[in-house]
């Protein structure tokens, strides 16, 4: 065991070297003494040798002991420093340190004591801070619970307000429906100029009130967090045309051109919230009309991009108004604010704010481009589901010749856009005089099939317009006048002038197409529901009276009921082709009527069932869904106009107009026609049986057979449905078949057989 232990902070070899250096003088002295002992002459006494060697040895031992002692001092100092470094501040240096280290030990003990005091003080402060934090946290939790309770109360109040607004809106929309409806009916009668002006004021006020009601109701839902989307399949063109027809009178009153263009590559059958889209377009268009004093307001709908079954559409509204400054653009979407030079316009100031909220809800975006004096363009980009639909062909007017005259360039472009899409040969004129001159000098065989002119009411007094009316008085060719006016008196004036038909420029594409077909064929039109029976159930007398008048004007035989029980009694006794059923009625409500009628018709073929259209001033998404699940064919929100009603009652009318010519093979071979009518249902039954057995292989084979038959006989609608079914089964068997795939195929087959039957009846009259 070594006499000297090295300190922990030194290695053994390093310690040996340092110890050797420390003891070197003593070793040297001892060595010299030893040499003196050995080499000293004999004359040196022994005692002297002993003294010299003993002193040297004693010096060596004392130095070694001193080294060991100093090693202990250094180990104590090192241990104290390590304790301080590790936070053990209670450790102290001993007091027996040598004078050289004693002062250092005292100072180190003092530092350690001070640090210990600081630590204790810091711990006390930390404990106090933690205590305060815990108290603050407890208080925050208490305040949070109180805030949550208050929030629950606020949300409850918002819900109550929303329900109150919803109820108020329903009650207010009911008389508004009657006001707007009877205004439309009154407008179709002979009125004096003063009466027409009064009626226009009444109509404008009612539409303004309806717009404000919609804004307030939507804002209350937004604030209450209850605004939700109602996803359904809808027709984009119908939605756009409904909005344009609603706002056209406001634009025409200010002598503005209101033009809408849907580009041909835009898919029309979409999956989304049609009602919210209408609200967005309504607010943007009404805002543009409100702040535009002259010129035009143009709505364009174009396809931005497409990916799979999703499509992104951009709807832009451009006006020729006064434009906006940068400061005004920055505050456009702040509620209850209006701009335009400080002039206050009628309205709530919520329109653009609601548009922004709706666009955000639909995961879209909105942009504004505007410069003072240069007008404005509001553009929204929205995503929809694109539903695959059979390609519609417009064949009734293909290769017909129509001359048009439209002095407004954008309106003329939109008109030519539609006519050329229908396969019509269009010759356009910018002025009336060249059209009149060419028509006057054209031989009868070189005249067009139809002449269309777009004019303002004031233009009816022009000499050129009167001359054109005289030339077309005998319907060779017939003249169709498109007016920037919704006034029947203006339309009647155009008819008196010589036009075969006069319509507002906001006319929808299907109505325009039908009018063109009738005018080309016979020069006049006939009621669309002639020979049909229409049952109307509504507990509001004014609404019932208006809808009945509208139905009779469309040529239908009308049956009236004032509640659901009376409606069911009439239906059981007399039946009907169509039924308009109000959702909210005393006793048996509209939902109950729909369920009872559908349950009674469960064994009837689809073509013999009553077409049920539910109506209401307001419906929540779940109420709409309940009506459709019960069997309602369509749902209309009041107020609605004649075009919307006709579209809801007779959707087949559009299909009949747009059906392509019958397959050539069927037209030439009656035996094939009869065989096909027998074979197609059997092929569908094979597919249904395969579904029932869960046999995916047989189902795919049956779908392939049905697809092949449809392709061979050029049955486009049936082929599209069968092809989709075959692709889905090929991709992932039954798991890949979308909901409604089989019902869609059944419906396509049924409609195809209807078309074939109609052709058979027309070719073999009894």
Q: Looking at the structure, tell me whether residues 652 and 720 fall in a common domain.
A: no
Q: Looking at the structure, tell me whether residues 645 and 676 fall in a common domain.
A: no
What CATH number does residue 232 fall under?
Answer: 3.30.565.10
- For position 43, what pLDDT does the model report? 65
Sequence-distant contacts of 489-496: CB under 8 A, at least 24 apart: 489/187, 489/190, 489/191, 489/193, 489/196, 490/457, 490/460, 492/190, 493/457, 493/460, 494/455, 494/460, 494/469
- For position 341, what pLDDT does the model report? 41
What CATH number does residue 490 fall under?
Answer: 3.40.50.2300
31 is a domain residue: yes
Tokens standing for residue 136: 């603050």
Q: Which of 348, 382, 367 is nearest to 222 (CA)?
A: 348
CA distance 87 to 85: 6
Give pLDDT < 50 ranges for the chain: 1-4, 336, 339-348, 523-524, 655-669, 766
- For position 162, what pLDDT does the model report? 61
193 is a domain residue: no
**Helix (H/G/I), strand (E/B), else coil: 115:** helix
707 is a domain residue: yes
Last residue of a domain, one of 606, 625, 658: 658
- For position 111, what pLDDT does the model report? 74
Q: Which of 617, 619, 573, 624 is nearest to 594 (CA)?
A: 624
Q: Looking at the structure, tell me whether residues 239 and 379 fall in a common domain.
A: yes
At 139-180, the pLDDT tens digits run 888 888 888 888 777 767 766 666 666 666 666 666 777 777
Domain count, the chain: 5
Residue 465 and residue 455 in contact, taking contact as beta carbons nearer than 8 Å:
yes
Element housing 482 (H / E)? strand 479-483
Alpha helix positions (H), 308-392: 326-330, 351-361
Q: Looking at the structure, tell me whether residues 233 and 382 fall in a common domain.
A: yes
Q: Looking at the structure, tell me whether residues 234 and 380 fall in a common domain.
A: yes
- For position 730, what pLDDT does the model report? 65
124 is a domain residue: no
If one counts every other C-beta atom within 10 angstroms of the C-beta of residue 678, the result is 8
CA diameter of the chain: 173
Q: Looking at the structure, tell me whether residues 652 and 669 fall in a common domain.
A: no
Last residue of a domain, one of 616, 641, 658: 658
Return the residue matching tokens 């329900």.
163
Tokens standing for residue 230: 């109602």
CA distance 429 to 403: 8
Q: What is the CA radius of gyration of the chain?
A: 47
301 is a domain residue: yes
Q: Looking at the structure, tell me whether residues 594 and 720 fall in a common domain.
A: no
- For position 173, what pLDDT does the model report? 67
Chain-centroid distance, C-alpha 145: 35
- For position 336, what pLDDT does the model report? 47
Tokens standing for residue 360: 């955000």
Q: Looking at the structure, tell me whether residues 234 and 373 fall in a common domain.
A: yes
112 is a domain residue: no
- For position 340, what pLDDT does the model report? 43
Q: Which of 749, 753, 741 is nearest to 387 (CA)?
A: 741
626 is a domain residue: yes
Last residue of a domain, one of 478, 499, 521: 521
Domain range holding 262? 228-386
Query: How does 572-606 read in b/e, with b if 16+ C-beta sit within 10 Å?
Result: eeeebbbbbbbbbbeebbbbbbbbbbbeebeeeee
Q: Residue 360: CA atoms inside 13 Å, Cβ hemisphere, count?
A: 9
Q: Looking at the structure, tell me whether residues 626 and 732 fall in a common domain.
A: no
- For position 740, what pLDDT does the model report? 61
Q: Looking at the structure, tell me whether residues 377 and 444 fall in a common domain.
A: no
Helices (H) and strands (E) in the chain, counts: 24, 17
Q: Looking at the structure, tell me whether residues 452 and 568 fall in a common domain.
A: no
Tokens standing for residue 318: 């451009």
**Helix (H/G/I), strand (E/B), else coil: 404:** strand
Q: What separation, in Å, do the N-terminal and C-terminal C-alpha atoms of the chain show?
A: 135
57 is a domain residue: yes
**Considering the entire predicted model, what is its pTM?**
0.56
- For position 652, what pLDDT does the model report? 59
Q: Looking at the structure, tell me whether residues 258 and 301 fall in a common domain.
A: yes
Residue 202 and residue 183 in contact, taking contact as beta carbons nearer than 8 Å:
yes
């Amino acid at each position: 065991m070594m006499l000297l232990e090295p300190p922990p902070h030194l290695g053994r070899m390093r310690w040996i070297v340092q110890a050797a250096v420390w003891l070197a003088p003593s070793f040297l002295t001892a060595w010299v003494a030893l040499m003196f002992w050995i080499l000293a002459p004999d004359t040196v006494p022994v005692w002297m040798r002993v003294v010299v060697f003993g002193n040297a040895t004693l010096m060596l031992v004392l130095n070694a002991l001193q080294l060991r002692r100093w090693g202990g001092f250094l180990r104590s100092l090192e241990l104290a420093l390590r304790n301080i470094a590790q936070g053990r501040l209670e450790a102290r240096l001993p007091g027996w340190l040598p004078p050289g280290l004693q002062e250092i030990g005292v100072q180190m003990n003092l530092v350690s004591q001070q640090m210990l005091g600081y630590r204790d003080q810091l711990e006390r402060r930390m404990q106090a801070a933690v205590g305060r934090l815990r108290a603050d946290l407890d208080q925050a939790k208490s305040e949070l619970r109180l805030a949550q309770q208050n929030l629950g109360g606020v949300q409850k109040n918002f819900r109550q307000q929303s329900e109150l607004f919803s109820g108020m809106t329903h009650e207010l929309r009911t008389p508004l429906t009657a006001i707007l409806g009877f205004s439309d009916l009154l407008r179709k009668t002979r009125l004096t100029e003063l009466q027409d002006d009064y009626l226009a004021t009444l109509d404008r006020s009612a539409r303004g009130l309806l717009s404000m009601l919609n804004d307030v109701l939507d804002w209350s839902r937004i604030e209450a967090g209850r605004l939700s989307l109602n996803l359904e399949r809808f027709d984009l063109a119908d939605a756009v045309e409904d909005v344009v027809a609603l706002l056209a009178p406001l634009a025409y009153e200010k002598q503005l051109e209101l033009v809408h263009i849907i580009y041909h590559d835009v898919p029309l059958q979409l999956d989304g919230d049609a009602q919210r889209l209408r609200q967005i377009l309504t607010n943007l268009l009404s805002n543009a009309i409100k702040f535009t004093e002259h010129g035009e307001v143009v709505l364009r709908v174009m396809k931005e991009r497409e990916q799979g079954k999703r499509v992104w559409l951009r709807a832009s509204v451009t006006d020729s108004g006064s434009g906006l400054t940068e400061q005004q653009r920055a505050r456009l979407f702040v509620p209850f604010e209006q701009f335009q030079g400080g002039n206050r316009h009628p309205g709530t100031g919520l329109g653009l704010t609601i548009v922004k909220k709706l666009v955000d809800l639909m995961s879209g975006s909105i942009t504004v481009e505007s410069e003072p004096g240069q007008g404005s363009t509001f553009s929204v980009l929205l995503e929809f589901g694109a539903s695959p639909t059979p390609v519609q062909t417009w064949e009734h007017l293909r290769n017909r010749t129509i001359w048009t005259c439209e002095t407004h360039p954008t309106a003329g472009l939109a008109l030519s856009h539609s006519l050329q899409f229908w396969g019509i040969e269009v010759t356009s004129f910018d002025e009336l005089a060249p059209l009149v001159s060419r028509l006057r000098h054209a031989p009868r065989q070189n005249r067009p099939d139809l002449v269309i002119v777009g004019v303002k009411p004031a233009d009816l007094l022009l000499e050129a317009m009167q001359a054109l009316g005289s030339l077309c008085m005998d319907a060779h060719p017939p003249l169709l006048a498109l007016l920037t006016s919704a006034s029947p008196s203006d339309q009647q004036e155009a008819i008196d002038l010589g036009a075969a038909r006069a319509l507002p420029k906001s006319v929808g594409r299907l109505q325009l197409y039908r009018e063109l077909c009738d005018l080309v064929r016979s020069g006049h039109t006939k009621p669309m529901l002639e020979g049909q029976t229409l049952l109307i159930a509504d507990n509001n007398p004014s609404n019932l009276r208006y809808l009945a008048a509208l139905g009779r004007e469309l040529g239908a035989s009308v049956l009236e009921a004032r509640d659901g029980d009376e409606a069911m009694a009439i239906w059981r006794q007399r039946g009907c082709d169509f039924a308009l059923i109000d959702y909210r009625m005393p006793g048996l409500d509209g939902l109950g009527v729909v369920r009872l009628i559908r349950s009674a018709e469960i064994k009837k073929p689809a073509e013999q069932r009553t077409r049920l259209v539910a109506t209401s001033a307001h419906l929540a998404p779940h109420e709409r869904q309940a009506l459709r699940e019960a069997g309602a064919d369509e749902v209309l929100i009041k107020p609605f106009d004649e075009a919307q009603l006709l579209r809801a009652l007779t959707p087949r009318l559009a299909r009949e107009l747009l059906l392509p010519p019958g397959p050539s093979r069927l037209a030439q071979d009656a035996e094939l026609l009869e065989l096909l009518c027998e074979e197609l249902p059997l092929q569908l039954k094979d597919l249904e049986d395969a579904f029932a057995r869960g046999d995916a292989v047989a189902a795919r084979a049956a779908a392939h057979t049905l697809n092949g038959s449809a392709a061979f006989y050029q049955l486009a609608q049936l082929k599209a449905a069968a092809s989709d079914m075959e692709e889905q089964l090929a991709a992932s068997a039954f798991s890949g078949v979308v909901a409604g795939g089989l019902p869609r195929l059944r419906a396509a087959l049924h409609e195809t057989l209807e078309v074939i039957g109609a052709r058979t009846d027309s070719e073999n009259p009894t």
